[in-house]
Amino acid sequence: MEYHDSEKANEVAGRVEDFLEEVVLPREREALATGERITMDEIEGFWEEAKERDLFAPQVPEEYGGQGLDFSDMLPSFEQVGRSLIGALAIRANAPQEGNMHTLEMVGTEEQKEEYLRPLVQGEISSAFAMTEPKQGGGSDPKMLQSTAVKDGDEWVINAHKWWTSDGLDADFYLTMVRTDLDAHPYSGTSIILVPADADGVDVVRNIPHVGGHGITEREGGHAEVKFDDVRVPVENTIGEENDGFQIAQMRLGGGRLTHCMRYSGMAERSLDVAKAYLSEREAFGTTLEEKQALRHRIADAETRLHAARCMVRHAARELDRSDARIEVAMAKLFTANVTQDTIDLALQCCGGNGIGKDLPIAHFYENVRAFRIVDGADEVHRRSIARWAFEDVDETEIENALQFDEGLRIDALDE
């Protein structure tokens, strides 16, 4: 399909595709076939190769070691890396590192950028975003945030209990969401504070077992449960302005949701490619499976819906350049999460026993995609936002006309 992405976007995405086909996917296939985990030395080798090809960290400004692509221009590259289990990691565009880089680049001080952003981009250190809490803390309703930070002189004293902190097990620092003004509404009284992992009182409790938790790399960041017990950090570790945490998080999440959409749509596209190749070769009941009309129609529906998802994401990305695009992003994320899950499920079904086996990547994709309907806002949260927008400008004249029409129907029915 032609999506009229810019010439620059298509050129870079084409080089990312070549990098995957020539370097990343062959090693991925080998790891799947042998069960041998891909080491961090190998990942760092991918990084060096990506740098030589001018593909490393496409989302980061050049001054910090990235490629400096505009948001819309980097989306096709994110779609390409989504086709591989390690594609995003191979070019340093994986979550949550990508989102944390974006956050520091947006609102970090020059000192924070030099001390944390530059080495983060280069892969010298790792990071995590600590926001979600166990019940009854912040989750789908972030206003329920329980974590606090209280000033004591020139220090914050942080007490928090976080979980589902992506890459939290290996993080060198946490961007931590905490209440800093308990008298204010959470939306105007919450801050993001950078907490080094080696600060006194930081306790990584465990890596939470979860669906899709077994990858093919040696180092698994996972999703950690972390406690902060009277952790002291300088006030200067505040990211952006004090009490602006929710506004910063919203800026981070809008783009992050769309990059997730592109990665998962790439995942779904490759799953379909594998399934179609299998259907064209596998014979049953006298013909190849690709000649079975029921399967052909299901593939057609999947291709159609995946095309619609890609169009929605690109539209939301254009709007995001002009405004916060909350509703466009919510619609794109909700729709894409469900389309990619359905598509990968279909691909697995088409491949039968080979689908649930892990010689192919589909089973891994199948485990990973389910979380997408929960992370970065659960389906229900996005539906709530969309419904609120849909009803906020209801025309009272239309309501009156509808009521009169309904009354007329009931009178007609009685007359009959």
Lowest mean pLDDT: which of 40-49, 76-85, 220-229, 325-334? 220-229
Cβ pair 304, 231 in contact under 8 A: no
pLDDT single digits (tens) 360-386? 999 999 999 999 999 999 999 999 999
Token digits of residue 20: 């995957």
Q: For residue 163, report the phi and psi dihedrals to the nearest 5 degrees.
A: -150, 175
Q: How far apart are CA 145 and CA 246, in angstroms?
A: 11
Which residue bears the tokens 């939306």?
187
pTM (two decimals)? 0.90
- pLDDT the model gives residue 411: 46
Check whether 329 has a pLDDT greater than 90. Answer: yes
Whether the per-residue pLDDT at 142 is higher than 60: the answer is: yes
What lies within 8 Å, CB to CB, of 218 at 6+ separation is 37, 38, 39, 40
CATH topology (fold) of 246-392: Butyryl-CoA Dehydrogenase, subunit A; domain 3 (1.20.140)
Q: Look up the CATH architecture of domain 127-243.
A: Beta Barrel (2.40)
Model confidence at 317: pLDDT above 90 = yes
Please tell me which residue, 223 or 213, carries the higher pLDDT value.
223
Res 323: pLDDT: 83
Give per-residue pLDDT as tens, 26-81.
Answer: 999 999 999 999 999 999 999 999 999 999 999 999 999 999 999 899 999 999 99
On whether the CB atoms of residues 223 and 165 are closer than 8 A, the answer is yes
Lowest mean pLDDT among 9-18, 205-214, 262-271, 335-344: 205-214
Q: What is the average pLDDT across 156-169?
A: 96
* Beta strands 202-207 and 148-152, pairing class: unpaired
Q: What CATH superfamily is the domain 7-94?
A: Acyl-CoA dehydrogenase/oxidase, N-terminal domain (1.10.540.10)
Question: What local confidence, expressed as pLDDT, does residue 414 receive?
Answer: 44
Q: What percent of the chain has pLDDT over 90?
A: 85
The amino acid present at 341, given as its one-letter code, is Q
Q: Quick check: 253 pLDDT over 80?
A: yes
The three-state DSSP-derived secondary structure of the chain is CCCCCCHHHHHHHHHHHHHHHHHHHHHHHHHHHHCCCECHHHHHHHHHHHHHCCCCCCCCCHHHCCCCCCHHHHHHHHHHHCCCCCHHHHCCCCCCHHHHHHHHHHHCCHHHHHHHHHHHHCCCCCEEEECCCCCCCCCCCHHHCCCEEEEECCEEEEEEEEEEEECCCCCCEEEEEEECCCCCCHHHCEEEEEEECCCCCEEEEEECCCCCCCCCECCCCCEEEEEEEEEEEEHHHEECCCCEHHHHHHHHHHHHHHHHHHHHHHHHHHHHHHHHHHHHHCEECCEEHHHCHHHHHHHHHHHHHHHHHHHHHHHHHHHHCCCCCHHHHHHHHHHHHHHHHHHHHHHHHHHHHHHHCCCCCHHHHHHHHHHHHCCCCCHHHHHHHHHHHHHHCCCHHHHHHHHHHHHHHHHHHHHC
Average pLDDT over the chain reads: 93
**pLDDT > 70: what percent of the chain?**
94
pLDDT, residue 155, reads 98
Q: How confident is the model at residue 413 (pLDDT cuts 50, 70, 90)?
A: very low
Task: Please report which confidence band the pLDDT of residue 18 belongs to, taking 50, 70 and 90 as the band edges.
Answer: very high
Residue 133: φ, ψ to 5°: -125, 155
pLDDT digits 0-9 by tens, 397-412: 655 665 565 555 544 4
Query: Mean pLDDT over residues 344-348, rounded?
Result: 98
Q: How confident is the model at residue 4 (pLDDT cuts 50, 70, 90)?
A: confident
**Domain ranges for the chain:** 7-94, 127-243, 246-392
**Tokens read off for 266:** 């790439």
Rounded Cα–Cα distance for residues 269 and 265 (Å): 6
pLDDT of residue 412: 47
User: If you average pLDDT over residues 223-228, what whole number do you get?
Assistant: 97
